[in-house]
Amino acid sequence: MTDGLMLVFLVVIVLVGGGILFLIAHGRGAGKQLDVDRYRTSWMTIERQLVKGEEATSHLAVLNADKLLDQALRQRGVKGDTMGERMKNAAGIWSNANTVWSAHKIRNRIAHEPDVRVGYDNARRALAAYKRALKDLGAI
């Protein structure tokens, strides 16, 4: 090989290697570090909001859990214009994507259906899904 070709070959290898390292470092879900203490404190507040026998607390806790997950997704740099898009783009992160989607669907019902009723048990299941998702993201 000539010196010129060898130089081009080495430059290409360095650029490809650098690109791979960049993708690994900035890939899906690998954005900024999350403030775990702040997320844990917020999560404990959400869990305390849920009171058995008080339906409004079920709605509030689910809405706040969804907001906290969205905040973590954004902070981790997951792309998407909506929460749904961010959740799809984070699909490889979830240990159980179905439960996260079910929880988000409950949130959507609370937000968009005026007569929706979400009981304590359904809210607890949704909160468990959000908690697992936050753990999967490294937020709590």
pLDDT higher than 50, residue 28: no
Please tell me the distance from the alpha carbon of residue 105 to that of residue 15, in angstroms, as a whole number.
Answer: 43
Query: What would the mean pLDDT of 89-114 be, rounded to a whole number?
Result: 97
Quickly state the pLDDT bin for 2 (edges 50, 70, 90).
confident
Length of the chain measured in residues:
140
Q: What percent of the chain has pLDDT over 90?
A: 76
pLDDT for position 138: 96
- What are 74-99's pLDDT values in tens digits? 999 999 999 999 999 999 999 999 99
For the chain, give every domain's residue range. Answer: 1-30, 34-137
Report which of 17, 138, 21 is spatially closest to residue 76, judged by C-alpha positions: 138
User: What is the rounded (10 degree) CA torsion for 72, 78, 82, 88?
Assistant: -110
- Looking at per-residue pLDDT, the higher value among 29 and 13 belongs to 13
Query: What would the mean pLDDT of 126-139 be, rounded to a whole number?
Result: 98
DSSP string across 1-59: --HHHHHHHHHHHHHHHHHHHHHHHHSTT-SSPP-HHHHHHHHHHHHHH--TT-HHHHH
pTM of the model: 0.77
pLDDT higher than 60, residue 120: yes
